Amino acid sequence: MNAARPGMRAMLDRLAGGETTAIALVRGCLDRIAALDPGLRAFLRLNPRAEEQARDADRARAEGRAGPLCGIPVAVKDNLATAGLVTTCGSALLRDFVPLRDATVVARLREAGAIVLGKTNLDEFAMGSSTENSSFGPSRNPWDPARVPGGSSGGSAVAVACGMAPAALGSETGGSVRQPAAFCGVVGVKPTYGRVSRSGLVAFGSSLDQVGLLAGSVEDAAALLAIVAGPDRDDATAVPRPVEDYASACEAGVTGLRIGLPREYLGDGLAPDIAAAAREAAGRLAAAGAEIAEVSLPHTPWAIPAYYVIATAEASSNLARFDGVRFGRRVDPGAGLQAMYRATRGDGFGPEVKRRILLGTFVLSAGYHDAYYGQALRVRALLRRDFLDLFAAGFHAVLTPTTPTPAFRLGEKVSDPLAMYLSDVYTATANLAGLPALSIPVALSGGLPVGVQVLGPDFAEAHLFRIGAALERAFGTFVPPAAA
């Protein structure tokens, strides 16, 4: 753990030992934000009550009422509802939208004693891979501000990378936690579909969406998952399976784990440094006692087309609710209901969101439904079967690069949606298959972080933390020079 970027675990130890206070920790984060955020724009908004809530946390601790995260500051992606605190989804349409309640994950963090520092920047409605689709301007990569931090949870990744917050919530539909985690050099976790409640997460692709976590260390990510995971009466997809002690799993080592290295993820289009880093990571895991074997996931090449059909189809339906009636801004030219819908949506949504709604409407339309949407669902089933076959053959996980390249330059891909979509080529498979995945930085390439990811069977998060922790022991943590 780096002294310049203390983690949650270190903070909790110092709080318990009386060496620091919640108010000091929150002020420390706010000072970092004041110093670094004007150039990076991780945050869209700070919680005006953070210091008051820190004092409450200090009081609770003094009175012996400290929850497991009492006094820990966290950042929250701005597509998760926060009661009384504007939640924009990165969209002009929701510029002033104030939710009445907290998302379940936010409520669980608060009940555990954590303090929401503020809301982080994202691509509009989480659609994008760079935060350049935010209506409020992009975030920047702390390793090189001319580059993107990744997306859509780019603001959360920047905040954690720079120690503006020890941990953050993000969301994933096709890689939006792991890709920015890899670009910024932090740990990112996409839990199994159904592990974490999505109540209060603004829906994008409901069969793919999952709340994710970003932290400076594997252990912190594990501890955070244990707090937010579990069933929820407000989300029937959050399954009643016991939540494991993920933090202890970090100590378990990798002896006896069989890990596959899928060749489809190590071929065309992959930057040589990233291929080398993935092979080096596999070598270190072998040295730590894991068994590594090259494997095949043959349907991988069809993942991106299937993802961009299914995600847009679901988005076109989910985003129908933003019509000026119930949520957010209304633009009413006074010419009837249809005109109000048209003006609100025409004015409120940015170009990428409109592209997705049009694409999604098209693939669902009569005559095309089976050719596109139906076909994508069949591909999805085959992709999942690729993984299940491997797991049934005795593999505990697979290891792949998280992204084909390190962080790209701002502006490099904005006018080429296909190039932007291809940056999800290694991440979208976990969402399509519903599987858990963890990204962890393992190298630098030209001064930019490189991440690898491990994917495992449904609800095998504990294995992923075992493997992630072994990689962290081998490669250390990565702090951008600007934040050191």
Q: Which residues bind ligand GLN (CB under 6 A)?
A: 126-129, 152, 172-176, 204, 311, 424
Whose Cβ is closer to ligand GLN: residue 152's or residue 199's? 152
Chain-centre distance for alpha carbon 255: 29
Question: Which of residues 160 and 303 has its CB atom nearest to ligand GLN in the complex?
Answer: 303
In angstroms, what CA-CA distances link 405 with 6, 273, 400, 420, 477? 28, 9, 13, 12, 20
Give the CB-nearest residue to ligand GLN. Answer: 176
- Which is catalytic among the residues 77, 119, 190, 413? 77
Query: From the CB of 318, what's the least distance to ligand GLN, in Å?
Result: 12
**Which residue among 171, 176, 423, 439 is the active-site one?**
176
Alpha carbon distance 391, 322 (integer Å): 41
- By beta-carbon proximity to ligand GLN, the closer residue of 122 and 281 is 122
Reading the block at residue 455, the tokens are: 């994917």
Cβ 433 to ligand GLN shortest distance, Å: 14
Q: How far is CA 231 from CA 42, 208, 361, in A?
A: 30, 17, 32
∠ CA 349-179-483, nearest 5°, is 100
| Beta carbon of residue 173, minimum distance to ligand GLN (angstroms, whole number) | 4
Between 129 and 217, CB nearer to ligand GLN? 129
Residue 175: CB minimum distance to ligand GLN, A: 5
Nearer to ligand GLN, 232 or 424 (CB): 424
| Shortest distance in whole angstroms from residue 128 CB to ligand GLN | 5
Give how far Cα 460 sits from Cα of 113, 215, 437, 439, Å: 27, 19, 9, 15
Catalytic status, residue 176: yes
Q: Output the smallest distance, CB 161 to ligand GLN, in A.
A: 18
Between 183 and 478, whose beta carbon lies closer to ligand GLN? Answer: 183
Residue 152 among the catalytic residues: yes
Catalytic residue, chosen from 130, 152, 156, 439, is 152
Residues marked as catalytic: 77, 152, 176
